[in-house]
Each structure stands twice: as C-alpha cells, then as structure tokens.
Amino acid sequence: MVVPFLTLILGLPAKVAVGTSLLTVITTSTGAAQEYLKSGRADVRLGIVLELFTTLGALAGGLAALLFSEKSIMVSFGLLLVVLAFQMLRSKEKLDFNHTASGGPYKNWAGGASLSVLAGVLSSVLGVGGGFLKTPAMNLIMKVPLSVALATSNLMIGVTATAGALIYFSRGEVDLPTAAPLVLGTALGAYIGAKTVRRVPTRWLRIAFVFVLSAAAFEMLWEGMK
C-alpha cells in the first residue's frame, strides 16, 4: 500500500519505494506485536513454525522470479486472493477479541505451511509483508481464531520483511529523510491500532479485511494483465 503512494505522490524511484515500504512493514510488526504479545493474542509457537516456511518461500521467491515472469506470478496470486476474499466474506465465525492464543490444537498444518511458503514468495517478489495471505491461511485452513491469526501474522511479517529490507538498506536504496517521518507515523498508527482493535465492532473488522484483500487482488490482477 505504501509503494504506490511513494512512487506516484512523492515521485521516488520504485526500488527506493519498495525498500522504504519494507521498513514500515517492520515498524508495524514491531509496534503492534509487542502489544499483541502483552495481551496474549499472538501465538509465538504457531508463528515461529510458519516463519520457517515463509522465510523458505522468500528465499525461493528470488528463484521463482527467475523461472516465471513477474506478471504470471501476479495474476496467479491475484486469483488466489479473490478466492480467499470470498471465503472470508462467507465465514460465520464470531470474532472474539478476548480469544487468547491457546497453542492449538490447530488443523491442517500442511495446508497452512504451503500457503506460508506462497506468502514468502509473494513477499520477496513484490516487497510486501504478505500478512493478507497469512491471516486467511491461518484462519480458514488451520482454524486459528481470526483475532489470533491477525496478531500472529503481525508478529511474522517483521521477519519476512527483514531479509528484503536488509538488502535494500545495505545497498543504500532507502531514502532515510523520507523514511523517518513514515516510520514514525506508522509506529503511532500500529500502536493505536493494536490498542483499540478490541473496541472495533467485529463485523466491521471482517469487512475491512475483505476490502483490503480485494484491493490487493485487484491491484495484482491489474498489474499482471497490463
């Protein structure tokens, strides 16, 4: 979401925008996850196991980018997101924000792991955190309660974004004076978001998430078919 803003409105080169956006992903993750850990909603065990697969995916992403065209990757992910958005919309699960991480038992680890690999691939190809794929993967496939899935995905995206961000940063492809206010603003937003998420009516939260999923799907299909 940050990349189009940086390239279109601030006129930054695409590479610098991706590097800077990855920094804001880490900020979101760090700021919100500490709050989620305090309230016991992020599941560190589930997170670390799935991180194993996302980081592998991110590593494979570099290879995938060589084998397939970026456009075909985008179209296939776009279609996958459309399917997930529909399923989220149909989900009848009642959101309970007092739901804390229980450590399971969760179902279908194989399915969750495979989607985590895909999220990692997507992350390294497009420079995003991939949380919009991890959250529905955990919720719909592994039957993790949505609030725990959101919090755990938040914890995970920091690690996924780190590998990419390190590369851009060490190459000097991050514009620090531009990144500073963005990071400070994101930090404030993430902190307030994690603090207030309990008070948001549950239906609104699901609708907002479906909206974000659809927007991401639309953008990917659009870019892929251009």
Cβ-based nearer residue to another protein, 73 or 159: 159
Secondary structure (H, E, C), 127-186? CCCCHHHHHHHHHHHCCCCHHHHHHHHHHHHHHHHHHHHHHHHHCCCCCHHHHHHHHHHH
CA distance 178 to 20: 8
Of residues 9, 67, 105, 177, which one binds another protein by CB under 8 A? 177
The count of other CB atoms within 10 Å of the CB of residue 90 is 9
11 Cβ contact partners less than 8 Å away, ≥ 6 residues apart: none
Stretch that binds another protein, among 20-28, 82-90, 111-119, 212-220 (CB under 8 A): 20-28
Is residue 31 a contact residue for another protein (CB under 8 A)? Answer: yes
Question: By rule CB under 8 A, what string of x and - marks binding of each residue 93-112 to another protein?
Answer: -------xxxx---------
Residues 110-149 that bind another protein (CB under 8 A): none
Say if residues 212 and 132 touch (Cβ distance below 8 Å). yes
**Residues at the site binding another protein, with contacts judged by CB under 8 A:** 23, 26-27, 29-31, 33-34, 37-38, 40, 42-45, 48-49, 51-52, 55-56, 58-59, 62, 100-103, 158-159, 161-163, 165-167, 169, 174, 176-177, 179-181, 183-184, 187
